[in-house]
Amino acid sequence: MVKRVLLIEDEPNIIEAVRYILTREGWAVDTHANGATALDAVARRRPDVIVLDAMLPNRSGFDILRDLRADAGLAAIPVLMLTARGQRADREMAERLGADRFMTKPFANAEVLACLRDLAGLGAG
Amino acid sequence: MACKLIFGAVQKVSEKTADLAKGGMRLAGSRIRARRLDLGMRQADLARRLGISASYLNLIEHNRRQVAGKLLSAIARALETDAAALAEGAEGALLDGLRDAAAGQGGAADLERAEDFAGRFPGWAALAAAQARRIAALERTVQTLNDRITHDPHLSAALHDVLSSVTAIRSTSAILAGEGAVDAEWQARFHRNLHEDSQKLAERAQSLVAYLDAREDEERAPVVPQETFEAWLAARGFHLAEVEAGQPLADPGRVGSAAARLIAAHAAQVRADAEAVPLSRLRAALERAGPDPAALAGELGADLGRVFRRLAALPEGVGGQPVGLLVCDASGSLTFRKPVPGFEVPRFGAGCALWPLYQSLGQPFVPLRTVVETAGRLPQRFLTFAQSRMDHPGGFGSPPVVEASMLILPAGGTEEAARPVGVTCRICPRAGCAGRREPSIVG
């Protein structure tokens, strides 16, 4: 069964690179770049896993995560949070708001793949 | 027997008293011992040459007996050195520095032997104390930078942009350099992306550097009127001597019109305060009533806010210690800040929610007296007095205007339970604080 990932990120070339490596590994990849409408995108796509950037146009990833976890229909979707700041406070905030994993930019492709496999219950691959 | 006991007790007390009185001379014994050992001389031999008992020399060498005058000169001659070299050296500041260094390590160092260490190895002791001071200074810098990054959305966004470009380049180049075959069309696309991202990275890095350069200039010359006012006041030592003497305020120089208005308003306040309570009257009242602001308010016939301001304007402080003053409005924004060493005040954003200053906002006109203990490597205790007042400058039915003030005095030796406080949540290491509003990046 093909797993679906929703990549919520606004940097077009990060989207293209991540989309490429995930597609190559057999994932179905949807992308969304606008923070303000990200929750609608999640509700519409119903992904198995979400990759969520912390700093998005119009709305922060932390706010999106908070609302996601408060929505009974979406709360169970695993989230990998991406941020450009490796500060402990951001990690703590992401964990407190319910992120399943946290990764700082710049990340390695292999790390993202391994993390998403794990979150989707696909094992080590 | 009783006489012997009393004599022993008196001797111990006199030894302790002498120890305390000797100050810089206390370490001479350690240096004598070190010099003797350097020369390979036995204690008994030196004692014999000096005409004193070996046990007495032993007491001197362990800083249990004062040595000065002729005996010190004789010892110096015997040890082929200068008497001044034996007498001078490690001073109180160096010992304080070593104690601070030990406290920074949770008191793990052998404090009892600090004097011995300073006496025998003054160079190494000075190095240890200097490094501890350097660490403390760097920690303050880190706090300031973290504070700035946290509360500077532009800097945060600029860093995010730079790191996003780096991420795109790293992911794309890893695909091209990786094991899996990439078809020609994708290869061309990724090469184009790399080119784009490298250009973007260069632009974003330049923009970040330009921003940081501009910030550095701002550090040298504050551009926000409130900061300009505070920098001017700090440069004046929070004391306007000419205004206190009834003279016009000295020209503050080129500070900008908004800051000039803040300075003029402050000078007018100081003038009114000085006319109502001249510093000479305040000093006389301090002699009589002590530093309790309520007692001073009674003595001087002034309200507490004025007493707070007058105490904070004293150039000599209270009891030789600097006096701090914070004033905020109903929103909690600090409108006046005179920090004191050990009680830091954040430059951006709000302070610690547990400061009595904020507590007083909810209890207008109620005087609050609170001992607080700051967080950090070297927690310090302060005695604070806070009160807020509410006015209706627009008349009946107009919105109230609330202003709270908090005076910060040294706590002295009070044993009272202290309220743990911090600077601001972001840089406060206190775990489990009920007043925390955001996670800390330290601790």
B23-48 pLDDT tens trace? 444 567 878 888 898 888 999 999 99
- pLDDT higher than threshold 60 for residue B106: no
A12-46 pLDDT tens trace? 999 999 999 999 999 999 999 999 999 999 999 99
Q: Return the structure tokens found at A77.
A: 């979707």
B333-372 pLDDT tens trace? 888 989 888 888 876 667 899 999 999 998 988 999 999 9
User: Highest mean pLDDT range out of A85-94, A113-122, B216-225?
Assistant: A113-122
Interface predicted TM-score (ipTM): 0.89
How much is the pLDDT for B360?
94
Q: Tell whether B442 and B330 lie within a shared domain.
A: yes
Q: Tell whether B20 and B106 lie within a shared domain.
A: yes
C-alpha distance from B437 to closest chain A C-alpha (Å):
12
- pLDDT higher than threshold 50 for residue B408: yes
Q: What are phi and psi of A20, to 5 degrees?
A: -60, -50
Does the distance separating the beta carbons of B190 and A11 come in below 8 Å?
Answer: no
Q: Tell whether B327 and B415 lie within a shared domain.
A: yes
Residue B285 within any structural domain of the chain: no
- CB-based contacts of B63, cutoff 8 Å, min separation 6: B19, B26, B27, B28, B29, B30, B115, B116, B119
Mean pLDDT, all residues of chain B: 80
Chain B touched by A24 (CB under 8 Å): yes
Q: Is B256 helix (H, G, I), strand (E, B) or coil?
A: coil
**Which residue, of B133, B164, B181, is where some domain finishes?**
B133
Contacts of B189 in chain A (CB under 8 A): 16
* Cα B140 to Cα B127: distance, rounded to the nearest angstrom: 20
Q: Tell whether B339 and B431 lie within a shared domain.
A: yes
Q: Tell whether B345 and B420 lie within a shared domain.
A: yes
- pLDDT higher than threshold 80 for residue B75: yes
Q: Tell whether B393 and B360 lie within a shared domain.
A: yes
Does the distance separating the beta carbons of A11 and B163 come in below 8 Å?
Answer: no
How much is the pLDDT for B237?
87
**DSSP symbol at B338:** E
DSSP run (H or E) holding B372: strand B368-373
Q: A46, A53, A108: which is closest to A77 by C-alpha?
A: A46
How much is the pLDDT for B22?
41
How much is the pLDDT for B14?
36
Does the distance separating the beta carbons of A106 and B180 come in below 8 Å?
Answer: no
- pLDDT higher than threshold 60 for residue B18: no
Give the pairing type, strands B368-373 and B419-420.
parallel
Q: Tell whether B116 and B156 lie within a shared domain.
A: no
B229-254 pLDDT tens trace? 888 898 888 999 999 999 999 988 87
Q: Tell whether B126 and B158 lie within a shared domain.
A: no
- pLDDT higher than threshold 60 for residue B16: no
Contacts of B174 in chain A (CB under 8 A): 108-109
Residue B124 within any structural domain of the chain: yes
Tally of structural domains, chain B = 3
Does the distance separating the beta carbons of B156 and A85 come in below 8 Å?
Answer: yes
Closest residue in A to B167 (Cα) is: A106
Q: Tell whether B168 and B119 lie within a shared domain.
A: no
Residue B2 within any structural domain of the chain: no
- pLDDT higher than threshold 60 for residue B90: no
The listed CATH number (3.40.50.10440, 3.30.1330.60, 3.40.50.2300, 3.40.50.1820) that belongs to domain A4-119: 3.40.50.2300
Q: Tell whether B428 and B325 lie within a shared domain.
A: yes
Tell me the residue range of the domain where B160 lies: 152-220
- pLDDT higher than threshold 60 for residue B107: no
Q: Tell whether B106 and B164 lie within a shared domain.
A: no
Under the banding of pLDDT at 50, 70 and 90, the label for residue B131 is confident
How much is the pLDDT for B6?
34
- CB-based contacts of B373, cutoff 8 Å, min separation 6: B379, B380, B381, B382, B418, B419, B420, B421
Contacts of A115 in chain B (CB under 8 A): none
